Amino acid sequence: MAEFRLHIVTPERVVFDGPVTSIIAPAALGYLGVLAHHAPLLTTLGEGKFTVRRSDQIEEYLISGGFLEVRDNIASLLTDSFRVLTTS
């Protein structure tokens, strides 16, 4: 499966910067999925579960809202808080 780069940033630090195959984010009006070569997108995020799929593992995090930008095969998540829920 094709990959794209994901940057996750909080006010304190860069939480993640690396290749992923998909993400699912809690957008303001519902969850949205992003795969490689997604159309450009800028959206606000609500509080909820943020899911990251990397080659053979799925990681789930709790975010408190923020912004998601997708452009040129790079997704950038800016959030105030970010907590690990599960990793597999």
What is the chain's pLDDT, residue by residue, as a tens digit (88 residues)? 899 999 999 999 999 999 999 999 999 889 999 999 999 999 999 999 999 999 889 999 999 989 999 999 999 999 999 898 887 6
User: Long-range contacts of range 10-15, CB-CB < 8 Å, 24 or more positions apart?
Assistant: 10/78, 10/79, 10/80, 10/81, 10/82, 11/80, 15/82
Residue 88 pLDDT: 66
CB hemisphere CA count around 85 (13 angstroms) = 12
Number of CB atoms found within 10 A of residue 15's CB: 16
Residue 80 pLDDT: 92
Cα-based distances in Å from 18 to 8, 28, 30, 46 = 9, 25, 25, 23
Query: Please, what are the domains in the chain?
Result: 4-87 (2.60.15.10)
